[in-house]
Structure 1
Amino acid sequence: MSTPKAMALALLLMFSSSVGAQQPAPAIEAFTSHGAKIGVRVFHPSLDSDKPRSALVLFHGGGWNEGEAGWMDAIATQYADLGMVAISVDYRLSRDGITPFDAVADARNAIRWVRREAARLGIDPNKVAALGTSAGAHLAASAAIFDEPWGSDISSVPNALVLRSPAVSVATSTWFQKLSGGVSQAAALSPVLHVRAGLPPMILLQGEEDNVTPASGARQFCQRMQARGNTCELKVYPGVGHLFTRNLASQEFPNYDAIDKGVSKDASDAGIAFLRERGFIVDADAP
């Protein structure tokens, strides 16, 4: 099994060609979600701007029970270099009575916190995108799809989403059933079963041979999104598995040296292009 340090290093290597040589230290902040202190790492662009910037809220992977916000530092730096304020979230992990329902609540509250603090952070609250990897993609999609029964005057719905190797179909996953509390609980928190009209635009980036978050789930999710009039783009990469690894025999805990760097870069470029087309990334010399 890969160690957290190895996974973080692998993510850095995956995105190192797109980021500057010097990664700025993030500002460490926190907000409260249902009584829990949730840490965030905030990366600001190096150049000042007199206009509010768009934001990207990032959710790491790790099967809902592993990981930390620092795993997303390389991706966060990449998007900060492109002019976005990037905020990665240390949501609660599934252990000691915590379930994915709590992590989804943290994801929703992270989006709300960004909007609540938008003026202080220099962010346009109407341009808050989310990016997630694997389980983190589940949380990003869930923030868009599921709402708390008591609601809030601040929306938790991202304005756009980039989902990498996304866990959007989890109802039949025995692992997710175990973490969430059972079959009905897993179904209640499976994004593909709750797609509706009016959801924000999304792009899904998926390996064809993925046996952790299968391509069939991503296809079904996108088809249901489109059938309800939502924008959903899907890029499926042949010959690679979860997180774009070429090591198809061991995907749950992949050897990150086996990640196809060409595919990973193409997926990264596709996510950037998706957000650029929607005005979240603006060239520095644009009016």
Structure 2
Amino acid sequence: MRKAVGAAIGAGALALVAILFVFPGQKAAPKKAGTPAAAATKPTPAASRTPTPTPTPTLSPVAHPLASASDIRVRTVAYGDGARQRMDVWWHTKGPRRPVVFVIHGGWWSGGDKKTMTTVSRSYARLGYTVVNLDYRLSGDAPWPAQRTDTIAAITTARERATKYNTDPDRYVLVGFSAGGHIAAAVGTYGDGLPGLRGVVGVSPVISPLTSYADGGTGGSFEQRKLRRTATALAGGCAPSECPDVWASMEVADHASAGDAPMLDVHSKDEFVPPYQSELLQQALKTYGVPMSIKVMPGTQHSAPLYREKGVAKAVEDWITARLESDK
């Protein structure tokens, strides 16, 4: 049944173009000695709670390969008490239970909004997926790891309400852009992996804030200097030398483990968040046998403009379909 859904979804992807508007732009606490107690403790991820089992629908997945406008419902749902702890859930009222695509906006960790992800959310919903487009606390609201914590809380809430939203809680992926790509990758390498997470996609993801801090020093471009400032704000306003444990917690590659989800990252060759950052994570995951692919495009485009480059959105859609329809 799942392969049939995947074939239908893959065919539908050819008919859609995902256009989105995001702003350029975050694992577990360090797995090393010397980490503050608050960061060193690795609680069981909230998303590991097992949702109440429900019967699998008997409807044929081929009957609803793509959603009509009347089939899709959208609702804004709170996953916490904060003003930004909200998510838009796009789900299907008919057909089989759908896999989930979680969308995480960019914006330097200090700005951006889920509203900028409406078009891409709609496109994935029309491909037949449930979509969760989420906001999270910005660096001005709370320092790291609040952004990772919020994303895990959103995942937990969506999984717990899987029946309500006609969703399969054990098949989901994360797609993050720039700063949102950092958050997605950090969730993907949190602890020893989250149950049900099949893959993580980053478009211009900031994998190594420490690398960005170094690149934004003397001689750095305007964007590199800004990224250095916003990464420092994410760390609570302190430089790496002042709070090394916080910065270590923000380094995604340092937290790779065998239980992590497969990943796909996309960069432009000469953008201000270089492919080298993702190569660091690729090498770390390789040590544990976790597959990761990196797609490098020519030019300097970052985040949304990069996603709009010919072939990028299609490559991401195909990768997502393969991951969500895999039995592994």
Report the 3-state secondary structure (helix = DSSP H, G, I; strand = E; otherwise coil) of the residue aligned with 1:128: strand
CA contact under 8 A between 2:67 and 2:128: conserved in structure 1? no
1:280 Cα shift?
4.4
1:239 Cα shift?
1.6
- The structure number with the bigger radius of gyration is 2
Report the 3-state secondary structure (helix = DSSP H, G, I; strand = E; otherwise coil) of the residue aligned with 1:233: strand
Choose the corresponding residue for 1:166, options 197, 201, 205: 205
Choose the corresponding residue for 2:82, options 36, 39, 50: 36
Q: Number of paired residues?
A: 242
Letter paired with 1:43: W
CA contact under 8 A between 1:207 and 1:238: conserved in structure 2? yes
The answer to whether the aligner puts 1:224 opposite 2:284 as a matched pair is yes
State how 1:5-154 maps to structure 2 within 5 Å: 11=20, 26-32=74-80, 35-37=81-83, 38-45=85-92, 48-49=94-95, 51-96=96-141, 98-147=142-191
The answer to whether the aligner puts 1:192 opposite 2:237 as a matched pair is no
Single out whichever of 100-109 and 217-226 deviates more from structure 2. Answer: 217-226
Instruction: Please report the TM-score for the alignment, with normalisation by the length of structure 1.
Output: 0.75
Report the 3-state secondary structure (helix = DSSP H, G, I; strand = E; otherwise coil) of the residue aligned with 1:29: strand
The answer to whether the aligner puts 1:273 opposite 2:318 as a matched pair is yes
Instruction: Please report the TM-score for the alignment, with normalisation by the length of structure 2.
Output: 0.67
Letter paired with 1:177: T
Q: Give the aligned CA root-mean-square deviation in angstroms.
A: 2.9
Q: 1:112 to 1:187 in 2, by over 3 A?
A: same
1:12 Cα shift?
5.3
**Deviating runs (4+, > 3 A) in structure 1?**
19-25, 154-157
CA contact under 8 A between 1:145 and 1:194: conserved in structure 2? yes
1:26 Cα shift?
2.8
Give me the whole-angstrom Cα distance separating, in 2, the residues matched to 1:230 and 1:20. 33
Q: 1:168 to 1:156 in 2, by over 3 A?
A: farther
CA contact under 8 A between 1:64 and 1:100: conserved in structure 2? no
User: C-alpha deviations, 1:79-114, integer Å up to 9, x for none?
Assistant: 111110011111011114x11311111011111111
CA contact under 8 A between 2:140 and 2:233: conserved in structure 1? no
Letter paired with 1:36: G
For structure 1, list consecutive stretches of 5 or more residues without a partner in the other structure.
1-9, 14-18, 246-258, 282-287
Q: 1:279 to 1:94 in 2, by over 3 A?
A: closer
For structure 2, list consecutive stretches of 5 or more residues without a partner in the other structure.
1-18, 23-65, 214-227
User: C-alpha deviations, 1:134-175, integer Å up to 9, x for none?
Assistant: 01111111112224xxx9xx9477321111111111124233
Q: 1:155 to 1:276 in 2, by over 3 A?
A: closer
- Greater RCO structure (CA 8 Å; 6+ sep): 2
The equivalent of 1:177 in structure 2 is: 232
Give me the whole-angstrom Cα distance separating, in 2, the residues matched to 1:126 and 1:205. 25
The equivalent of 1:256 in structure 2 is: none
1:244 Cα shift?
6.6
CA contact under 8 A between 1:198 and 1:229: conserved in structure 2? no
The equivalent of 2:294 in structure 1 is: 234
Kindly, what percent of the aligned residue pairs are identical? 24
1:177 Cα shift?
2.7
Q: 1:260 to 1:200 in 2, by over 3 A?
A: closer
